[in-house]
A and B are shown apart, each in its own frame.
Chain A
Amino acid sequence: MNPFDLTVSVVASGVKSGQFSCDEIAETFAQRVEKLHPVLNTHLYWDRSNIAKQTSMQQNRIAAEKDIMPLAGVPVVIKDNICTAGLPTTCASKILAGYKPPYSATVVDRLVKAGAIIFGKVNMDEFAMGSSNENSAFGAVKNPWDLRRVPGGSSGASAASVAAGLAPAALGSDTGGSIRQPASFCGVVGLKPTYGAVSRYGLVAFASSLDQIGPITNTVRDSSMLFDALCGFDPLDSTSSKTKCELTANRLDQINIKKIKIGVIKELFSDGLDPQVKDRIDQAVKAFENAGAEVRWISLPHLKYSISTYYILATAEASSNLARYDGVVFGHRTSKKTDSLTEMYRQSRSEGFGAEVKRRIMLGTFVLSSGYYDAFYGKAEKLRHMISRDFSDAFEKVDFLLSPTAPTTAFKLNEKITDPLAMYLSDIGTIAANLAGIPAISLPCGFDSNNLPIGLQLTGPKFSEACLLQGANWYEQQTEWHRKHPAL
């Protein structure tokens, strides 16, 4: 079987109808993992016997429970910052090497309940901090389209796995673009849901007010099916929304494109934008326009401050969220003899965290420290509010916003690793949606002259996933980009 024919919807309906068994599906993808992991460095945890247990359990449920198994037999790779009970969860950090949580994230429970197979834990930037997946304590991940290039980050291996056909779907997490930018770099679909739509319980926190779990898949329909299984109130997450999520998959085609109003974000068509990326986005805009959608420019005046705002708020929260890695209750403790508790703390943390994580802890600690809080954190909170207001003003005028996901296609390994600021600045297209807590999706819209995928981003108001996915699905139906796969 060709793994790329086995989309989420094909697998689920085939398994439920008896066309495939869970084992057959798992075997097809497992061979793929075992062949390509050594090339791409995607998997941090992979255990066939664990998968066999799951397939047998899910297969046994089908007879009685197939109606509540929308993802029957679907292998899903899980980013390694999402807790899986009894299975390693490392966040690609030395500080959590060997750590096995005693509980599973709500999203994992929901996937399993929906019939999915947890198909290994995959690589990422350490603690989801990075845009290239080079900040992993367990080695960089390669882009399946060009092994000399990065897959994007921080959910780099989630996107690479789906792009390379190791699984039809992946879970990623997105704090400033960590689902959408790697989806863009790897030529797949990535959805960052509305903040509060999907439970964060069991997602190892990077920046709590920005983090959101979402799917990465080969098609918009597949993302929609995963989103439907993941979303909804969780009593274990105080920030999860009690507003009942609208299901999206059953009305994906119900769109009248002629009634849709689209805003193109002016500020994201500036100097830093690669001309080839700009060209493909222009083509996408035309496609909507030609079909009768109303397209206009929209300005988001405070967007230019989003990087500064983001790197203050996200690192402040991160510095706090990462205080628990002190070598007491779990995680790495130095093996060096330490005379005092403080020495033990400092040595363990310094050994356990990588350079980018330390950088962000330092930045975040500084902006919260006495004398600097108001100037940095306080101001950033206000700016976040203003950026959010820019979006709500825009959504008075249009249904969704259109922009490039990233200003460039995948860059080369080691190209930006020594210049953290340049790396931060490349997040300009994705960060604002996290600050505003609104949903955004990246989907393929073409290739550059190096045959590297280009991503188109659609952004909507809070809880507009249904509409957003309809728009994305409409565009996908007009194009063939999602049918192109890397030759490996």
Chain B
Amino acid sequence: MSSKQNGTENTLPSDPILSRYEPVIGLEVHCQLRTETKLFCSCSTKFGGLPNYHTCPVCLGLPGVLPVINTKAIDFAVRLALAIKASIHKQSQFSRKQYFYPDLPKGYQITQFDRPYCTAGQVNLASGKVIRVTRIHMEEDAGKNVHGDAASYVDLNRAGIPLVEIVSEPDIRSADEAVEYLKKLRSLARYLEISDGNLEEGSFRCDVNLSLRRRGEEKFGTRCEIKNLNSFKNIERAIRYEILRQADLIDSGTAVRQCTLNFDPASGRTNVIRIKEDSQDYRYFPEPDLPLLQLSEDRIARIAKSLPELPEAMAQRFQTEYGLSSYDSNILTSDRDLATFYEKTVIRVTKIVAPKIVANWVCSEFLREVNAYEWNLSSPPITSEMLGELLELLGKQTISGKIAKTVFQEMVDSRGTKSAAEIIKAKGLVQIVDLSAIESVVDDILNKSPAQISEYHAGKEKVFSYFVGEVMKASKGKMNPAIVNDVIRKKLLERKKD
């Protein structure tokens, strides 16, 4: 095991449970590949639609049908393997995993078992810790069962959609690490344009394997598997709860039994659904309907060449090219759409606004609204063009920074239907840079404030901000603060001479 594996061991948590037990977590992620057609037939993968509208003899599992693999799905799977620097095997094999369930029309799932196409990859966390990826394999998704009161119903639209399953080593030690790892993986999938990584819609699903071991011990404890977690929040909650559940069991002298659990978001608890003794015998054997999957070096090289810039490289570039901090760079590159948004805005305001200023705006103002309104970053109501226009007006000193924030808020409130220029025009928010107008207001204020002037001249420098505040108040914040500052300083000096 690598020494980097346990990045948290030197900082023992203050939590009484975590000070005694160390969580050992491995994750299995199922990620739907965004191909046009299913893995083994030419049915559309479109989401939604009435039950069984996207089915054919192959994905219905009718007698006599045969699978034919989707070349794009293989390319997508290889992209992911390359992105996590994994070994890609020139020969791999599909197998049948056999169990009876209504959403599995053939009575087996075509998957990869003992000869997956990809092994030994890695995902790097921000701390520098490496989470090892054991393997990635390709497989077909199952359909959906819907449960009624008297009966259940089966919809096979999803049956046969291509998936990759990404299995990590048990290198993860906390809920936070688990979520960071998952976000990194999802971000990669989006950068690679192989998946939309949507947890709620089930295109990115996670099972958690968790055990506890006493601090200082080498041996892993008995692990339990939590299935079907559909949001990062729930993954985090499920892990935190499961740590407590297992710790309670061990503390009370009860052995943890190997089992499968689900997480109930309403109660925040994990519930046992199956204990290990009942676990199924899947009777895997090589899929006779599919010859070996052959991946030539040429093909792998061609796919490698076509890979887009990945988040780590992009963050590095943001630091050197735009002079951003590593913190901002990591935030901006954590999502491909966000990074694209940022770079488009930077280009929009080239030579007018510094990339660093753009980064501040995107990371604070923009992201705050993204989170508050759960905007879809691929099509936010405030586009990069709109933010760029606002920042350009700021950069040209048409408006002040303070006004810019007000205008931005107006843009948000209008759900992007009003542009910055429109708002500024309608509300008369254009910044006043006219020197004589500013001088006249400053004179007015100073004339009304003899006492404060005396204090200032007596050495109370703090009073300066009082004058600024009064001037800005009088001008409804529209006067350029830098000019206002200069004028006040100049006028006060004149009055001292008087």
The answer to whether any beta carbons of A and B sit under 8 Å apart in the complex is yes
Q: Which residues of A contact B (CB under 8 A)?
A: 81-83, 89, 91, 96, 99, 101-103, 105, 200-205, 207-209, 235-239, 316-317, 319-320, 322-324, 326, 328-330, 341-342, 345, 365, 368-370, 373, 377
Contact with A along B89-112 (1 / 0, CB 8 A): 000000010101010011110000
Chain B residues near A96 (CB-CB < 8 A): 63
Which of B61, B63, B100 has the most C-beta atoms of chain A within 10 angstroms of its own C-beta?
Answer: B63
Interface size range on B against A: 20 to 34
Chain B residues near A208 (CB-CB < 8 A): 288-289
With beta carbons under 8 angstroms apart, the residue of B68, B105, B107 that contacts A236 is: B68
Inter-subunit contact A324/B63 (CB<8 Å): yes
Q: How far is the CA of A102 from the CA of B288 in the complex (A)?
A: 24
Chain B residues near A377 (CB-CB < 8 A): 285
When C-beta atoms are compared, the residue in chain A nearest to B65 turns out to be: A201
A368-B285, A373-B285 are known contacts. Are A324 and B66 too (CB-CB below 8 A)? no
Inter-subunit contact B57/A101 (CB<8 Å): yes
Q: Is B69 an interface residue (CB 8 A)?
A: yes
A101-B57, A329-B61 are known contacts. Are A236 and B66 too (CB-CB below 8 A)? yes
Which of B98, B100, B156, B288 has the most C-beta atoms of chain A within 10 angstroms of its own C-beta?
Answer: B288
Q: How far is the CA of A101 from the CA of B60 in the complex (A)?
A: 12
Q: Is B281 an interface residue (CB 8 A)?
A: yes
Chain B residues near A323 (CB-CB < 8 A): 98, 100, 106-108
With beta carbons under 8 angstroms apart, the residue of A202, A207, A319, A369 that contacts B64 is: A202
Inter-subunit contact A239/B64 (CB<8 Å): no
When C-beta atoms are compared, the residue in chain B nearest to A377 turns out to be: B285
With beta carbons under 8 angstroms apart, the residue of B57, B63, B98, B100 that contacts A205 is: B63
Q: How far is the CA of A326 from the CA of B102 in the complex (A)?
A: 8
Inter-subunit contact B57/A103 (CB<8 Å): yes
Query: Can you identify 13 A-B contacts, CB atoms within 8 angstroms?
Result: A81-B64, A89-B63, A89-B64, A102-B57, A202-B64, A204-B64, A205-B289, A239-B66, A323-B106, A324-B107, A326-B102, A329-B154, A377-B285
Inter-subunit contact B108/A235 (CB<8 Å): no
Q: How far is the CA of A377 from the CA of B113 in the complex (A)?
A: 16
With beta carbons under 8 angstroms apart, the residue of B57, B65, B67, B102 that contacts A328 is: B102
Chain A residues near B105 (CB-CB < 8 A): 324, 328-329
Additional 19 contacts, C-beta under 8 A, given A326-B102, A377-B285: A102-B57, A201-B64, A201-B65, A201-B66, A202-B65, A205-B63, A207-B288, A238-B66, A238-B69, A238-B291, A320-B96, A320-B108, A323-B107, A328-B105, A329-B60, A329-B154, A330-B62, A369-B281, A373-B285
Inter-subunit contact B64/A368 (CB<8 Å): no
Inter-subunit contact A239/B102 (CB<8 Å): no
With beta carbons under 8 angstroms apart, the residue of A202, A237, A316, A324 that contacts B106 is: A324
When C-beta atoms are compared, the residue in chain B nearest to A371 turns out to be: B281
Chain A residues near B102 (CB-CB < 8 A): 326, 328, 341
10 smallest beta-carbon distances between A and B, as pairs: A323-B107, A209-B288, A208-B288, A368-B283, A204-B63, A202-B64, A370-B281, A204-B64, A83-B64, A324-B61
Inter-subunit contact A239/B98 (CB<8 Å): no
Q: How far is the CA of A486 from the CA of B371 in the complex (A)?
A: 84
Inter-subunit contact B66/A316 (CB<8 Å): no
Q: Is B290 an interface residue (CB 8 A)?
A: yes
* Nearest chain A CB to B71 CB, angstrom units: 12
A238-B290, A328-B102 are known contacts. Are A320 and B66 too (CB-CB below 8 A)? no
Chain A residues near B57 (CB-CB < 8 A): 101-103
Which of A103, A239, A329 has the most C-beta atoms of chain B within 10 angstroms of its own C-beta?
Answer: A329
Chain A residues near B65 (CB-CB < 8 A): 201-202
* Nearest chain B CB to A362 CB, angstrom units: 13
CB under 8 Å from chain A, chain B span 47-80 = 57, 60-69
When C-beta atoms are compared, the residue in chain A nearest to B285 turns out to be: A368
Q: How far is the CA of A204 from the CA of B61 in the complex (A)?
A: 11
When C-beta atoms are compared, the residue in chain A nearest to B152 turns out to be: A341
Inter-subunit contact A238/B289 (CB<8 Å): yes
Q: Which residues of B contact A (CB under 8 A)?
A: 57, 60-69, 96, 98, 100, 102, 105-108, 152, 154, 156, 281, 283-285, 288-291
Inter-subunit contact A83/B63 (CB<8 Å): yes
Chain A residues near B152 (CB-CB < 8 A): 341
* Nearest chain B CB to A359 CB, angstrom units: 17
Chain A residues near B289 (CB-CB < 8 A): 205, 208, 238-239
Inter-subunit contact B64/A101 (CB<8 Å): yes
Q: How far is the CA of A316 from the CA of B288 in the complex (A)?
A: 11
* Nearest chain A CB to B250 CB, angstrom units: 29
* Nearest chain A CB to B53 CB, angstrom units: 15
Which of A96, A99, A103, A238 has the most C-beta atoms of chain B within 10 angstroms of its own C-beta?
Answer: A238
Inter-subunit contact A237/B66 (CB<8 Å): yes
Inter-subunit contact B100/A345 (CB<8 Å): yes
Chain B residues near A316 (CB-CB < 8 A): 285
* Nearest chain A CB to B155 CB, angstrom units: 12
Q: How far is the CA of A487 from the CA of B396 in the complex (A)?
A: 106
Q: How far is the CA of A45 from the CA of B69 in the complex (A)?
A: 34
Q: How far is the CA of A320 from the CA of B289 in the complex (A)?
A: 12
* Nearest chain B CB to A211 CB, angstrom units: 9
Q: How far is the CA of A203 from the CA of B288 in the complex (A)?
A: 14
Chain A residues near B67 (CB-CB < 8 A): 238
Chain A residues near B290 (CB-CB < 8 A): 238-239
When C-beta atoms are compared, the residue in chain B nearest to A368 turns out to be: B283
Inter-subunit contact B64/A105 (CB<8 Å): yes
* Nearest chain A CB to B101 CB, angstrom units: 8
A324-B107, A328-B102, A368-B283 are known contacts. Are A239 and B291 too (CB-CB below 8 A)? yes
Inter-subunit contact B108/A101 (CB<8 Å): no
Q: How far is the CA of A487 from the CA of B370 in the complex (A)?
A: 87
Chain A residues near B96 (CB-CB < 8 A): 320
When C-beta atoms are compared, the residue in chain B nearest to A316 turns out to be: B285
Inter-subunit contact B154/A328 (CB<8 Å): yes
Inter-subunit contact A235/B68 (CB<8 Å): yes
Q: How far is the CA of A120 from the CA of B464 in the complex (A)?
A: 103
* Nearest chain B CB to A29 CB, angstrom units: 26
* Nearest chain A CB to B37 CB, angstrom units: 14
Inter-subunit contact A326/B100 (CB<8 Å): yes
Q: How far is the CA of A341 from the CA of B99 in the complex (A)?
A: 13
Q: How far is the CA of A329 from the CA of B283 in the complex (A)?
A: 23
Inter-subunit contact A365/B62 (CB<8 Å): no
Chain B residues near A81 (CB-CB < 8 A): 64
Q: How far is the CA of A323 from the CA of B98 in the complex (A)?
A: 8
When C-beta atoms are compared, the residue in chain A nearest to B289 turns out to be: A208
Q: How far is the CA of A202 from the CA of B58 in the complex (A)?
A: 10
When C-beta atoms are compared, the residue in chain B nearest to A322 turns out to be: B107
Chain A residues near B100 (CB-CB < 8 A): 323, 326, 342, 345
Chain B residues near A369 (CB-CB < 8 A): 281, 283
When C-beta atoms are compared, the residue in chain A nearest to B102 turns out to be: A328
* Nearest chain A CB to B186 CB, angstrom units: 32
* Nearest chain B CB to A255 CB, angstrom units: 33
A208-B289, A209-B288 are known contacts. Are A200 and B66 too (CB-CB below 8 A)? yes
Q: How far is the CA of A363 from the CA of B67 in the complex (A)?
A: 25
Chain B residues near A368 (CB-CB < 8 A): 98, 283-285
Chain A residues near B283 (CB-CB < 8 A): 319-320, 365, 368-370, 373
Q: How far is the CA of A479 from the CA of B105 in the complex (A)?
A: 51
